[in-house]
Chain A
Protein backbone atom coordinates (compact mmCIF):
# COMPACT_ATOMS: atom_id res chain seq x y z
CA UNK A 1 0.00 0.00 0.00
CA UNK A 2 2.65 2.40 1.11
CA UNK A 3 4.83 1.41 -1.79
CA UNK A 4 2.01 2.08 -4.23
CA UNK A 5 1.53 5.51 -2.76
CA UNK A 6 5.22 6.30 -3.02
CA UNK A 7 5.45 4.96 -6.55
CA UNK A 8 2.47 6.93 -7.78
CA UNK A 9 3.80 10.10 -6.14
CA UNK A 10 7.15 9.60 -7.85
CA UNK A 11 5.44 8.93 -11.18
CA UNK A 12 3.36 12.06 -10.83
CA UNK A 13 6.46 14.08 -9.99
CA UNK A 14 8.24 12.72 -13.04
CA UNK A 15 5.36 13.61 -15.34
CA UNK A 16 4.93 17.10 -13.95
CA UNK A 17 8.64 17.81 -13.99
CA UNK A 18 9.10 16.40 -17.47
CA UNK A 19 6.53 18.60 -19.14
CA UNK A 20 7.53 21.63 -17.13
CA UNK A 21 11.27 21.43 -17.67
CA UNK A 22 11.68 20.12 -21.22
CA UNK A 23 13.57 22.32 -23.61
CA UNK A 24 12.12 21.26 -26.95
CA UNK A 25 14.19 22.84 -29.69
CA UNK A 26 12.95 20.76 -32.59
CA UNK A 27 9.50 22.09 -33.25
CA UNK A 28 7.45 21.70 -36.42
CA UNK A 29 7.90 24.60 -38.77
CA UNK A 30 4.24 25.15 -39.62
CA UNK A 31 3.17 28.67 -40.43
CA UNK A 32 0.44 30.22 -38.38
CA UNK A 33 -3.05 29.44 -39.68
CA UNK A 34 -6.40 29.85 -37.97
CA UNK A 35 -6.81 27.11 -35.41
CA UNK A 36 -9.75 24.84 -35.85
CA UNK A 37 -12.64 25.47 -33.49
CA UNK A 38 -11.87 29.16 -33.19
CA UNK A 39 -14.75 31.45 -33.91
CA UNK A 40 -13.95 34.58 -35.84
CA UNK A 41 -16.99 36.62 -35.09
CA UNK A 42 -18.75 37.55 -31.91
CA UNK A 43 -22.16 37.17 -33.57
CA UNK A 44 -23.69 33.75 -33.25
CA UNK A 45 -27.13 32.79 -34.41
CA UNK A 46 -29.02 31.17 -31.60
CA UNK A 47 -26.70 31.96 -28.76
CA UNK A 48 -22.91 31.61 -28.44
CA UNK A 49 -21.52 28.13 -29.11
CA UNK A 50 -19.54 26.50 -26.39
CA UNK A 51 -15.89 26.96 -27.53
CA UNK A 52 -14.05 23.72 -28.17
CA UNK A 53 -11.25 23.74 -25.63
CA UNK A 54 -7.82 23.62 -27.19
CA UNK A 55 -5.00 22.82 -24.81
CA UNK A 56 -1.84 24.70 -25.43
CA UNK A 57 1.14 22.42 -24.70
CA UNK A 58 3.37 25.38 -23.83
CA UNK A 59 1.20 26.38 -20.91
CA UNK A 60 2.70 23.60 -18.83
CA UNK A 61 6.23 24.16 -20.11
CA UNK A 62 8.41 26.76 -18.45
CA UNK A 63 10.76 27.09 -21.40
CA UNK A 64 7.81 27.66 -23.76
CA UNK A 65 6.43 30.45 -21.58
CA UNK A 66 9.82 32.09 -21.29
CA UNK A 67 10.28 31.90 -25.06
CA UNK A 68 6.86 33.49 -25.38
CA UNK A 69 8.02 36.30 -23.11
CA UNK A 70 11.11 36.87 -25.22
CA UNK A 71 9.13 36.84 -28.46
CA UNK A 72 6.55 39.21 -26.98
CA UNK A 73 9.43 41.69 -26.64
CA UNK A 74 11.06 40.82 -29.94
CA UNK A 75 7.91 41.13 -32.03
CA UNK A 76 7.16 44.44 -30.37
CA UNK A 77 3.92 43.49 -28.65
CA UNK A 78 5.25 45.85 -25.96
CA UNK A 79 4.78 48.73 -28.42
CA UNK A 80 1.04 48.69 -27.79
CA UNK A 81 0.38 46.48 -24.78
CA UNK A 82 3.48 47.51 -22.82
CA UNK A 83 4.52 44.78 -20.41
CA UNK A 84 0.93 43.84 -19.81
CA UNK A 85 -0.26 47.18 -18.53
CA UNK A 86 -1.57 48.30 -21.89
CA UNK A 87 -1.28 51.61 -23.70
CA UNK A 88 -2.39 51.88 -27.27
CA UNK A 89 -3.70 48.35 -26.90
CA UNK A 90 -5.70 46.92 -24.02
CA UNK A 91 -3.96 45.76 -20.86
CA UNK A 92 -3.19 42.07 -20.57
CA UNK A 93 -2.62 41.67 -16.84
CA UNK A 94 -6.27 42.10 -15.88
CA UNK A 95 -9.06 39.54 -16.20
CA UNK A 96 -11.07 41.50 -18.75
CA UNK A 97 -10.89 39.79 -22.13
CA UNK A 98 -12.68 41.45 -25.04
CA UNK A 99 -12.32 38.44 -27.32
CA UNK A 100 -12.16 35.62 -24.82
CA UNK A 101 -9.49 34.30 -22.45
CA UNK A 102 -9.20 30.76 -23.82
CA UNK A 103 -5.87 29.90 -25.53
CA UNK A 104 -7.73 29.50 -28.80
CA UNK A 105 -9.20 33.01 -28.50
CA UNK A 106 -5.83 34.59 -27.84
CA UNK A 107 -4.33 32.60 -30.70
CA UNK A 108 -7.03 33.83 -33.04
CA UNK A 109 -6.48 37.39 -31.90
CA UNK A 110 -2.79 37.21 -32.77
CA UNK A 111 -3.16 35.36 -36.06
CA UNK A 112 -6.27 37.09 -37.37
CA UNK A 113 -5.93 40.47 -35.78
CA UNK A 114 -8.85 42.41 -34.29
CA UNK A 115 -10.65 45.60 -35.21
CA UNK A 116 -9.29 48.93 -33.95
CA UNK A 117 -5.61 48.32 -34.42
CA UNK A 118 -4.55 44.75 -33.61
CA UNK A 119 -2.70 43.65 -36.76
CA UNK A 120 -2.82 40.14 -38.15
CA UNK A 121 0.40 38.19 -37.77
CA UNK A 122 -0.73 35.37 -40.02
CA UNK A 123 2.24 33.92 -41.88
CA UNK A 124 4.65 36.27 -40.09
CA UNK A 125 5.05 34.21 -36.93
CA UNK A 126 5.46 30.42 -36.98
CA UNK A 127 2.57 28.60 -35.36
CA UNK A 128 4.59 27.30 -32.41
CA UNK A 129 5.86 30.73 -31.57
CA UNK A 130 2.29 32.04 -31.57
CA UNK A 131 1.34 29.36 -29.07
CA UNK A 132 4.34 30.31 -26.94
CA UNK A 133 3.23 33.94 -26.99
CA UNK A 134 -0.30 32.82 -26.11
CA UNK A 135 1.05 30.96 -23.10
CA UNK A 136 3.01 34.01 -21.96
CA UNK A 137 0.12 36.40 -22.49
CA UNK A 138 -2.16 34.19 -20.43
CA UNK A 139 0.49 33.93 -17.71
CA UNK A 140 0.39 37.74 -17.36
CA UNK A 141 -3.09 37.57 -15.89
CA UNK A 142 -2.17 34.67 -13.64
CA UNK A 143 -3.96 31.97 -15.60
CA UNK A 144 -0.92 29.67 -15.59
CA UNK A 145 0.53 27.72 -12.71
CA UNK A 146 3.14 29.68 -10.76
CA UNK A 147 5.95 27.20 -11.21
CA UNK A 148 5.69 27.47 -14.98
CA UNK A 149 5.58 31.25 -15.39
CA UNK A 150 8.67 33.18 -14.46
CA UNK A 151 9.03 35.30 -11.34
CA UNK A 152 9.64 38.94 -11.90
CA UNK A 153 9.41 40.90 -15.09
CA UNK A 154 12.85 42.28 -15.82
CA UNK A 155 11.62 45.25 -17.80
CA UNK A 156 8.44 46.05 -15.96
CA UNK A 157 9.34 49.65 -15.34
CA UNK A 158 10.80 51.82 -18.03
CA UNK A 159 13.16 53.96 -16.03
CA UNK A 160 16.85 53.67 -16.54
CA UNK A 161 18.92 52.09 -13.83
CA UNK A 162 21.14 54.39 -11.85
CA UNK A 163 24.01 51.99 -12.11
CA UNK A 164 23.88 51.62 -15.86
CA UNK A 165 26.28 53.95 -17.56
CA UNK A 166 24.83 56.19 -20.25
CA UNK A 167 25.85 54.96 -23.63
CA UNK A 168 27.20 58.30 -24.86
CA UNK A 169 29.87 58.31 -22.21
CA UNK A 170 31.43 54.86 -22.01
CA UNK A 171 33.19 53.89 -18.83
CA UNK A 172 36.77 53.24 -19.82
CA UNK A 173 38.22 50.79 -17.38
CA UNK A 174 41.84 51.24 -18.34
CA UNK A 175 43.53 54.50 -17.45
CA UNK A 176 44.10 56.24 -20.72
CA UNK A 177 46.66 58.82 -21.70
CA UNK A 178 44.14 60.98 -23.52
CA UNK A 179 40.41 60.98 -24.09
CA UNK A 180 38.93 58.95 -26.91
CA UNK A 181 38.98 61.11 -30.01
CA UNK A 182 36.36 60.75 -32.69
CA UNK A 183 37.50 58.38 -35.37
CA UNK A 184 38.20 60.25 -38.57
CA UNK A 185 38.27 58.60 -41.92
Chain B
Protein backbone atom coordinates (compact mmCIF):
# COMPACT_ATOMS: atom_id res chain seq x y z
CA UNK B 1 0.00 0.00 0.00
CA UNK B 2 2.66 2.41 1.16
CA UNK B 3 4.91 1.27 -1.68
CA UNK B 4 2.24 1.97 -4.24
CA UNK B 5 1.55 5.36 -2.75
CA UNK B 6 5.20 6.29 -2.80
CA UNK B 7 5.68 5.10 -6.34
CA UNK B 8 2.61 7.03 -7.50
CA UNK B 9 4.06 10.12 -5.86
CA UNK B 10 7.41 9.42 -7.47
CA UNK B 11 5.94 9.11 -10.95
CA UNK B 12 3.95 12.31 -10.61
CA UNK B 13 6.88 14.26 -9.21
CA UNK B 14 8.98 12.91 -12.04
CA UNK B 15 6.47 13.87 -14.73
CA UNK B 16 6.03 17.31 -13.22
CA UNK B 17 9.79 17.75 -13.03
CA UNK B 18 10.29 16.72 -16.63
CA UNK B 19 7.53 18.70 -18.22
CA UNK B 20 7.56 21.73 -15.98
CA UNK B 21 10.08 23.86 -17.76
CA UNK B 22 10.96 24.26 -21.41
CA UNK B 23 14.69 24.26 -21.08
CA UNK B 24 17.32 25.01 -23.70
CA UNK B 25 19.49 22.15 -22.40
CA UNK B 26 17.11 19.29 -21.91
CA UNK B 27 16.78 15.70 -23.04
CA UNK B 28 13.00 15.73 -22.78
CA UNK B 29 12.55 18.85 -24.87
CA UNK B 30 13.87 17.69 -28.25
CA UNK B 31 14.29 20.12 -31.14
CA UNK B 32 16.30 17.89 -33.44
CA UNK B 33 15.68 14.74 -35.44
CA UNK B 34 17.92 12.51 -33.30
CA UNK B 35 16.86 13.94 -29.97
CA UNK B 36 13.22 13.40 -30.92
CA UNK B 37 13.76 9.70 -31.67
CA UNK B 38 15.65 9.25 -28.43
CA UNK B 39 12.89 11.08 -26.58
CA UNK B 40 10.31 8.61 -27.95
CA UNK B 41 12.47 5.71 -26.84
CA UNK B 42 12.89 7.28 -23.42
CA UNK B 43 9.15 7.56 -22.84
CA UNK B 44 8.55 4.01 -24.09
CA UNK B 45 11.11 2.71 -21.63
CA UNK B 46 9.85 4.99 -18.92
CA UNK B 47 6.34 3.59 -19.08
CA UNK B 48 7.44 -0.05 -19.44
CA UNK B 49 9.71 0.36 -16.43
CA UNK B 50 7.09 2.20 -14.41
CA UNK B 51 4.57 -0.57 -15.01
CA UNK B 52 7.14 -3.22 -14.09
CA UNK B 53 8.00 -1.30 -10.94
CA UNK B 54 4.39 -0.88 -9.85
CA UNK B 55 3.56 -4.56 -10.45
CA UNK B 56 6.62 -5.80 -8.55
CA UNK B 57 6.10 -3.47 -5.61
CA UNK B 58 2.41 -4.41 -5.50
CA UNK B 59 3.31 -8.11 -5.39
CA UNK B 60 5.89 -7.42 -2.72
CA UNK B 61 3.44 -5.44 -0.59
CA UNK B 62 0.90 -8.20 -0.87
CA UNK B 63 3.46 -10.83 0.10
CA UNK B 64 4.49 -8.85 3.13
CA UNK B 65 1.03 -7.90 4.30
CA UNK B 66 -0.91 -11.05 3.36
CA UNK B 67 -2.31 -13.27 6.07
CA UNK B 68 0.03 -15.96 7.32
CA UNK B 69 -0.81 -19.55 6.53
CA UNK B 70 0.98 -21.00 9.53
CA UNK B 71 1.72 -19.70 13.02
CA UNK B 72 4.83 -17.58 13.32
CA UNK B 73 6.82 -20.10 15.36
CA UNK B 74 6.54 -22.87 12.84
CA UNK B 75 9.35 -23.53 10.48
CA UNK B 76 8.22 -25.25 7.31
CA UNK B 77 10.72 -25.78 4.50
CA UNK B 78 8.09 -25.37 1.79
CA UNK B 79 4.51 -24.15 1.44
CA UNK B 80 1.42 -25.96 0.22
CA UNK B 81 1.33 -23.73 -2.87
CA UNK B 82 4.92 -24.46 -3.88
CA UNK B 83 4.02 -25.77 -7.34
CA UNK B 84 1.78 -22.79 -8.06
CA UNK B 85 4.57 -20.48 -6.94
CA UNK B 86 6.96 -22.15 -9.34
CA UNK B 87 4.54 -21.66 -12.22
CA UNK B 88 3.93 -17.99 -11.36
CA UNK B 89 7.63 -17.24 -11.05
CA UNK B 90 8.31 -18.99 -14.38
CA UNK B 91 5.63 -16.93 -16.10
CA UNK B 92 6.99 -13.74 -14.53
CA UNK B 93 10.48 -14.53 -15.79
CA UNK B 94 9.13 -15.26 -19.26
CA UNK B 95 7.31 -11.93 -19.33
CA UNK B 96 10.49 -10.19 -18.18
CA UNK B 97 12.53 -11.81 -20.92
CA UNK B 98 9.97 -10.87 -23.57
CA UNK B 99 9.73 -7.25 -22.45
CA UNK B 100 13.50 -6.95 -22.35
CA UNK B 101 13.66 -8.35 -25.86
CA UNK B 102 11.07 -5.83 -26.99
CA UNK B 103 13.10 -3.01 -25.47
CA UNK B 104 16.26 -4.35 -27.10
CA UNK B 105 14.61 -4.31 -30.52
CA UNK B 106 13.26 -0.80 -30.06
CA UNK B 107 16.64 0.39 -28.83
CA UNK B 108 18.45 -1.06 -31.83
CA UNK B 109 15.88 0.36 -34.24
CA UNK B 110 16.26 3.80 -32.69
CA UNK B 111 20.02 3.44 -32.87
CA UNK B 112 19.84 2.69 -36.58
CA UNK B 113 17.43 5.52 -37.22
CA UNK B 114 19.58 8.16 -35.61
CA UNK B 115 22.78 6.89 -37.18
CA UNK B 116 21.84 6.61 -40.82
CA UNK B 117 20.87 9.91 -42.32
CA UNK B 118 21.10 9.81 -46.10
CA UNK B 119 21.91 13.39 -46.77
CA UNK B 120 22.17 14.89 -50.22
CA UNK B 121 24.09 17.88 -49.09
CA UNK B 122 25.35 17.78 -45.55
CA UNK B 123 27.17 20.58 -43.82
CA UNK B 124 30.55 19.52 -42.45
CA UNK B 125 31.86 21.11 -39.31
CA UNK B 126 34.83 20.31 -37.12
CA UNK B 127 34.84 20.60 -33.37
CA UNK B 128 38.08 20.52 -31.43
CA UNK B 129 38.02 20.33 -27.66
CA UNK B 130 40.43 22.41 -25.60
CA UNK B 131 40.73 22.92 -21.86
CA UNK B 132 38.19 24.61 -21.46
CA UNK B 133 36.65 25.92 -24.69
CA UNK B 134 35.46 24.65 -28.05
CA UNK B 135 37.15 25.41 -31.34
CA UNK B 136 34.63 25.34 -34.17
CA UNK B 137 35.73 25.15 -37.80
CA UNK B 138 33.76 25.26 -41.03
CA UNK B 139 36.28 23.69 -43.41
CA UNK B 140 36.42 24.59 -47.06
CA UNK B 141 38.57 23.20 -49.84
CA UNK B 142 39.74 26.78 -50.34
CA UNK B 143 41.71 27.28 -47.15
CA UNK B 144 41.12 31.01 -47.12
CA UNK B 145 37.39 30.36 -46.88
CA UNK B 146 37.67 28.16 -43.82
CA UNK B 147 35.89 29.72 -40.89
CA UNK B 148 37.29 29.34 -37.40
CA UNK B 149 35.31 30.46 -34.40
CA UNK B 150 34.78 29.40 -30.81
CA UNK B 151 32.03 28.24 -28.50
CA UNK B 152 29.22 29.08 -30.89
CA UNK B 153 27.97 26.78 -33.61
CA UNK B 154 25.64 28.03 -36.30
CA UNK B 155 23.72 25.48 -38.33
CA UNK B 156 20.93 25.80 -40.86
CA UNK B 157 17.58 24.35 -39.80
CA UNK B 158 16.54 21.11 -41.49
CA UNK B 159 19.98 20.40 -42.94
CA UNK B 160 21.92 17.34 -41.87
CA UNK B 161 25.23 18.21 -40.27
CA UNK B 162 28.22 15.93 -39.94
CA UNK B 163 30.48 16.88 -37.10
CA UNK B 164 34.05 15.61 -37.13
CA UNK B 165 35.56 15.98 -33.73
CA UNK B 166 38.77 15.47 -31.84
CA UNK B 167 40.58 16.95 -28.88
CA UNK B 168 43.86 18.77 -28.46
CA UNK B 169 44.45 17.82 -24.84
CA UNK B 170 42.24 15.62 -22.64
CA UNK B 171 38.95 13.85 -23.33
CA UNK B 172 35.93 16.11 -23.65
CA UNK B 173 32.38 15.24 -24.58
CA UNK B 174 30.21 17.28 -26.92
CA UNK B 175 26.59 17.38 -25.81
CA UNK B 176 23.68 19.53 -26.94
CA UNK B 177 20.80 17.50 -25.49
CA UNK B 178 18.02 19.22 -27.40
CA UNK B 179 19.64 18.10 -30.66
CA UNK B 180 21.44 14.80 -30.07
CA UNK B 181 23.23 12.68 -27.49
CA UNK B 182 26.86 13.12 -26.66
CA UNK B 183 30.06 12.26 -28.41
CA UNK B 184 33.45 12.03 -26.74
CA UNK B 185 36.31 14.01 -28.20
CA UNK B 186 39.37 11.82 -27.68
CA UNK B 187 42.94 12.85 -28.45
CA UNK B 188 44.36 10.57 -31.11
CA UNK B 189 40.92 9.71 -32.47
CA UNK B 190 38.58 11.40 -34.90
CA UNK B 191 34.93 10.62 -34.69
CA UNK B 192 31.92 11.77 -36.65
CA UNK B 193 28.44 12.54 -35.44
CA UNK B 194 25.38 13.29 -37.55
CA UNK B 195 22.70 15.62 -36.35
CA UNK B 196 19.98 17.84 -37.64
CA UNK B 197 18.20 20.72 -35.92
CA UNK B 198 14.53 20.98 -36.77
CA UNK B 199 13.50 24.22 -35.17
CA UNK B 200 15.06 27.65 -35.03
CA UNK B 201 16.48 28.54 -31.69
CA UNK B 202 19.56 28.81 -29.53
CA UNK B 203 20.39 25.64 -27.67
CA UNK B 204 22.90 25.36 -24.90
CA UNK B 205 25.35 22.49 -24.74
CA UNK B 206 28.07 21.58 -22.34
CA UNK B 207 31.11 19.37 -21.93
CA UNK B 208 29.97 16.11 -20.37
CA UNK B 209 33.26 14.32 -19.72
CA UNK B 210 35.25 15.45 -16.72
CA UNK B 211 38.17 17.41 -18.14
CA UNK B 212 39.81 19.23 -15.25
CA UNK B 213 39.36 22.38 -13.23
CA UNK B 214 36.87 24.22 -15.41
CA UNK B 215 34.82 21.28 -16.66
CA UNK B 216 31.81 23.07 -15.16
CA UNK B 217 32.33 26.17 -17.30
CA UNK B 218 32.82 24.63 -20.71
CA UNK B 219 29.59 25.38 -22.49
CA UNK B 220 28.69 26.36 -26.03
CA UNK B 221 25.64 27.58 -27.86
CA UNK B 222 24.20 25.93 -30.91
CA UNK B 223 22.30 28.45 -33.01
CA UNK B 224 19.86 26.88 -35.44
CA UNK B 225 18.71 29.43 -38.03
CA UNK B 226 17.19 29.58 -41.48
CA UNK B 227 19.57 28.65 -44.33
CA UNK B 228 19.53 32.27 -45.54
CA UNK B 229 20.57 33.63 -42.18
CA UNK B 230 23.14 30.90 -41.83
CA UNK B 231 24.73 31.62 -45.19
CA UNK B 232 24.87 35.32 -44.40
CA UNK B 233 26.55 34.52 -41.12
CA UNK B 234 29.05 32.22 -42.80
CA UNK B 235 29.93 34.81 -45.45
CA UNK B 236 30.43 37.41 -42.80
CA UNK B 237 32.65 35.09 -40.70
CA UNK B 238 34.86 34.46 -43.74
CA UNK B 239 35.98 38.05 -43.97
CA UNK B 240 39.15 39.20 -42.25
CA UNK B 241 39.05 41.82 -39.55
CA UNK B 242 39.01 45.37 -40.89
CA UNK B 243 41.52 47.85 -39.56
CA UNK B 244 39.80 50.20 -37.14
CA UNK B 245 39.02 53.74 -38.19
CA UNK B 246 38.72 55.79 -35.02
CA UNK B 247 41.69 56.71 -32.86
CA UNK B 248 40.67 54.88 -29.70
CA UNK B 249 40.21 51.62 -31.54
CA UNK B 250 43.52 52.09 -33.36
CA UNK B 251 45.23 52.60 -30.04
CA UNK B 252 43.52 49.45 -28.78
CA UNK B 253 44.72 47.49 -31.77
CA UNK B 254 48.23 48.76 -31.19
CA UNK B 255 48.00 47.61 -27.58
CA UNK B 256 46.58 44.23 -28.60
CA UNK B 257 49.42 43.60 -31.04
CA UNK B 258 52.22 44.70 -28.73
CA UNK B 259 51.17 43.01 -25.52
CA UNK B 260 50.40 39.55 -24.17
CA UNK B 261 47.19 39.07 -26.22
CA UNK B 262 49.11 38.40 -29.39
CA UNK B 263 50.93 35.45 -27.86
CA UNK B 264 47.77 33.30 -27.87
CA UNK B 265 45.06 34.79 -30.09
CA UNK B 266 44.44 35.21 -33.78
CA UNK B 267 42.82 38.16 -35.44
CA UNK B 268 42.85 37.47 -39.15
CA UNK B 269 44.05 40.48 -41.10
CA UNK B 270 46.61 41.42 -38.47
CA UNK B 271 49.93 39.94 -37.40
CA UNK B 272 48.19 38.16 -34.49
CA UNK B 273 48.20 34.55 -35.65
CA UNK B 274 48.66 32.31 -32.66
CA UNK B 275 46.17 29.53 -32.11
CA UNK B 276 46.60 28.80 -28.43
CA UNK B 277 43.41 30.55 -27.41
CA UNK B 278 40.15 31.17 -29.30
CA UNK B 279 40.20 32.99 -32.64
CA UNK B 280 39.04 36.57 -32.01
CA UNK B 281 38.53 37.72 -35.61
CA UNK B 282 34.77 38.05 -35.07
CA UNK B 283 34.68 38.16 -31.30
CA UNK B 284 32.04 40.88 -31.13
CA UNK B 285 29.60 38.80 -33.19
CA UNK B 286 29.43 36.09 -30.51
CA UNK B 287 26.78 36.05 -27.82
CA UNK B 288 28.97 34.91 -24.95
CA UNK B 289 32.57 34.86 -23.79
CA UNK B 290 34.58 32.37 -21.75
CA UNK B 291 32.89 29.28 -23.26
CA UNK B 292 29.31 30.25 -22.61
CA UNK B 293 30.03 31.57 -19.15
CA UNK B 294 29.28 35.29 -19.49
CA UNK B 295 27.19 37.39 -21.88
CA UNK B 296 29.42 39.20 -24.34
CA UNK B 297 29.37 42.86 -23.30
CA UNK B 298 32.20 45.35 -22.69
CA UNK B 299 31.87 45.15 -18.92
CA UNK B 300 32.22 41.37 -18.79
CA UNK B 301 34.95 41.39 -21.41
CA UNK B 302 36.94 43.98 -19.44
CA UNK B 303 36.62 41.98 -16.24
CA UNK B 304 37.63 38.83 -18.08
CA UNK B 305 40.75 40.46 -19.58
CA UNK B 306 41.92 41.98 -16.28
CA UNK B 307 41.41 38.89 -14.17
CA UNK B 308 39.77 35.89 -15.77
CA UNK B 309 40.97 33.76 -12.86
CA UNK B 310 38.35 35.21 -10.55
CA UNK B 311 35.65 34.06 -13.00
CA UNK B 312 37.02 30.68 -14.12
CA UNK B 313 39.77 29.76 -11.65
CA UNK B 314 42.41 27.66 -13.36
CA UNK B 315 41.58 28.66 -16.93
CA UNK B 316 44.43 29.24 -19.36
CA UNK B 317 44.14 33.01 -19.74
CA UNK B 318 46.57 34.88 -17.47
CA UNK B 319 45.58 37.99 -15.52
CA UNK B 320 46.63 41.14 -17.36
CA UNK B 321 47.95 44.35 -15.95
CA UNK B 322 47.02 47.56 -17.77
CA UNK B 323 45.78 51.02 -16.96
CA UNK B 324 42.16 51.93 -17.52
CA UNK B 325 42.89 53.98 -20.64
CA UNK B 326 44.56 51.05 -22.29
CA UNK B 327 41.71 48.78 -21.25
CA UNK B 328 39.11 51.17 -22.65
CA UNK B 329 40.86 51.43 -25.99
CA UNK B 330 41.41 47.66 -26.09
CA UNK B 331 37.72 47.09 -25.47
CA UNK B 332 36.82 49.64 -28.13
CA UNK B 333 39.02 47.73 -30.54
CA UNK B 334 37.57 44.36 -29.62
CA UNK B 335 34.06 45.74 -30.09
CA UNK B 336 34.93 46.52 -33.70
CA UNK B 337 35.66 42.82 -34.38
CA UNK B 338 32.14 42.16 -35.58
Contacts and interface: CB of A to CB of B under 8 A. Distances in A.
B164 to A, nearest CB: 5
A75 B263 contact: yes
Contacts of B307: 29
Contact of A126 (B121, B189, B318): B318
B123 A29 contact: no
B137 to A, nearest CB: 11
Q: Which of A23, A126, A163, A184 is most buried by chain B, counting CB atoms within 10 A of its CB?
A: A126
B24 interface: no
Nearest to A30: B321
B189 A164 contact: yes
A175 B276 contact: no
Contact of B260 (A26, A124, A177, A182): A124
B45 interface: no
Contact of A26 (B115, B164, B188, B310): B310
B29 interface: no
- Taking chain A's interface residues, is the majority helix, strand, or loop, or is none over half, making it mixed? loop
Interface residues of A, number: 38
B47 to A, nearest CB: 28
B238 to A, nearest CB: 10
B97 interface: no
Given A165-B190, A183-B122, A183-B123, A31 B313 contact: no
Contact of A174 (B116, B124, B274, B310): B116
Given A75-B263, A126-B260, A183-B121, A171 B318 contact: no
Interface string B311-334: 001101011110000000000000
B192 A126 contact: no
Contacts of A31: 260, 321
Interface string A142-165: 000000000000000000010111
Contacts of A181: 121-122
A123 B259 contact: yes
Interface in A9-29: 23, 25-29
A152 to B, nearest CB: 15
Given A29-B319, A129-B318, A177-B118, A167 B190 contact: yes
B164 A170 contact: yes
A185 interface: yes
Q: Which of A23, A173, A183 is most buried by chain B, counting CB atoms within 10 A of its CB?
A: A183
B319 A174 contact: no
A124 B263 contact: yes
A74 B264 contact: yes
Interface in B107-160: 115-118, 121-124, 140-141
Nearest to B125: A183
A26 B276 CA distance: 21
Contacts of A116: none
Contacts of A178: 118
A43 interface: no
A26 B118 contact: no
A176 B114 CA distance: 11
Interface string A104-140: 0000000000000000000111101100000000000
Contact of A171 (B124, B190, B262, B310): B190
A29 B306 contact: yes
B124 A183 contact: yes
Contact of B259 (A124, A165, A167, A185): A124
A180 interface: yes
Contacts of A123: 258-260
A48 interface: no
Nearest to A126: B318
A26 B320 CA distance: 12
A29 B263 CA distance: 16
A3 interface: no
Nearest to A161: B188
B96 interface: no
A185 B231 contact: yes
A104 to B, nearest CB: 21
Interface string B159-170: 000101000000
A172 interface: yes
Given A129-B318, A174-B115, A25 B313 contact: yes
Contact of A170 (B122, B190, B234, B321): B190
Contacts of A183: 121-124, 140
10 contacts: A26-B309, A29-B306, A29-B319, A31-B321, A75-B276, A126-B318, A128-B318, A170-B191, A177-B116, A183-B123
Given A25-B309, A74-B263, A126-B318, 9 more contacts: A26-B313, A31-B321, A123-B259, A126-B260, A171-B191, A172-B191, A174-B194, A175-B115, A184-B121
